[in-house]
Amino acid sequence: MIKQARAAVTREQILRGAAEMFDRYGYGASLSDVIAHAGVTKGALYFHFGSKEDLAHAVIEQQHALSVAPARQRLDEHAPGLESVIRLSHGLARQLMDDVIVRAGIRLTLEHGTFNASASNPYRDWVAVSEQLLRRAIDEGDLRDSIKPAALARFVVSAFTGVQLLSEVLSARQDLQQRVAEMWDILLPSLVPAGKLPYFRGLAATGAAENSGELGSR
């Protein structure tokens, strides 16, 4: 049991060190960089990961788990659909600002053409969960009946991806929450019934994400 616990700690140490290097250099980071930064031996790294590609995919999988779990929780709890998508976008923005695993996983996913195996599953899942939430939003009367949930889910994920990339380039993501709020401010008038627009614009402006108690009733 002690050996297993130590192995788990070492694996997490390697993943964290790899994430910091991938966040900084992308897939171009070398395994020697990871070994030095994580403070482990070459043998320890290869005990847990057979190659740099394996290590990259482990980082992506951990990022995916961190980012998708809140969305699946909202689905399971039957939380309001459109409100959930807005809050989740702000939550992912905060993860990108605060969590190196998330930053590294997102960067590696966008660079998936630089290594062999496909890394598209996180985006496919993100779109799929968003679509389910948006279908719920239509049933709840929070989206116009003419909206196609699948198309909107793809567009929102695409828009967020572009917004976060530009924010990274221009401000090292320091303005990301504001840029996400602006994204929703532009999109919402074409999505929601006019009477509900003030509420959803206010929700997007707060950047409250998961803190549902911060706003007044609808």
Is 110 contained in some domain? Answer: yes
The pLDDT score that the predictor gives to residue 1 is 66
Per residue in 145-165, pLDDT (tens digit) is: 999 999 999 999 999 999 999
Enumerate residue ranges in the chain where pLDDT < 50: 117, 208-218
Whole-number pLDDT of residue 124:
87
Boundaries of domain holding 63: 53-211
pLDDT at 112: 67
**Radius of gyration, CA atoms only, the chain:** 19
What is the pLDDT at residue 119?
63
Burial of 8 (0-12, 13-18, 19+ CB in 10 A): exposed
Query: What CATH number has the domain bearing residue 104?
Result: 1.10.357.10
**Assigned domain for 131 exists:** yes
For residue range 86-97, list pLDDT tens digits in order.
Answer: 999 999 999 999
Q: Is 14 domain-assigned?
A: no
Query: From residue 103, how far is each of 74, 183, 210 by CA, in Å?
Result: 23, 20, 19
Is 31 inside any structural domain?
A: no
Note the pLDDT of residue 118: 57
- How many CB atoms neighbour CB 11 within 10 A? 17
CA–CA gap between residue 24 and residue 1 (Å, rounded): 35
10 domain residue, yes or no: no
